[in-house]
Amino acid sequence: MHELGVVFYVIRDVKAVAEENDVTRVDCVTLEIGEVSGVVHELLRDAWKWAVKKESLMADAELEIETIPAVTFCEDCKRDYPTVEYGKTCPHCGSNHTFLVQGNEFIIKDMQVE
């Protein structure tokens, strides 16, 4: 997966927000990541530690990760269910006409700054 690439995007966006808000130092960034976004948290944290060191504005910034649970909706029986447990097949009626309603997110939630 593209953990390092994603970290670069986060740093780009955080720097833009910091500039708009006269921030001198970023202490912590909180991300909200969908359960099935495919991002491996361990790899993301490693990439983060490596990449922020190069940024004077956020050289020691911490990374917090909050998980958004994955939910799939069934078009046949109109109910939803946890994606990770049941995958593409609806546990209520066995249908495959299902789609993901949440769990694919990758959001910068907030940042603690000085």
* Secondary element (H or E) of residue 18: helix 3-20
Name the one range near other proteins by CB under 8 A: 24-32, 50-58, 67-75, 76-84.
24-32
**Residue 2 in the binding site for other proteins (CB under 8 A):** yes
**Residue 38 in the binding site for other proteins (CB under 8 A):** yes
Both tokens of 84, joined, read: 């990770």
The rounded distance, in Å, linking the Cα atoms of 31 and 10 is: 9
The rounded distance, in Å, linking the Cα atoms of 110 and 29 is: 6
**Residue 68 in the binding site for other proteins (CB under 8 A):** no
Q: Which of 15, 19, 23, 75 binds other proteins (CB under 8 A)?
A: 23
Complex with other proteins: residue 17 or 63, whichever CB lies closer: 17
Under rule CB under 8 A, which residues in 76-95 are in contact with other proteins? 88
**Residue 93 in the binding site for Zn ion (CB under 5 A):** yes
- First-last CA distance in the chain: 32
Q: How far is CA 12 from CA 7, 58, 62, 95, in A?
A: 9, 11, 16, 42
Q: Which residues bind Zn ion (CB under 5 A)?
A: 74, 76-77, 90, 92-93, 95
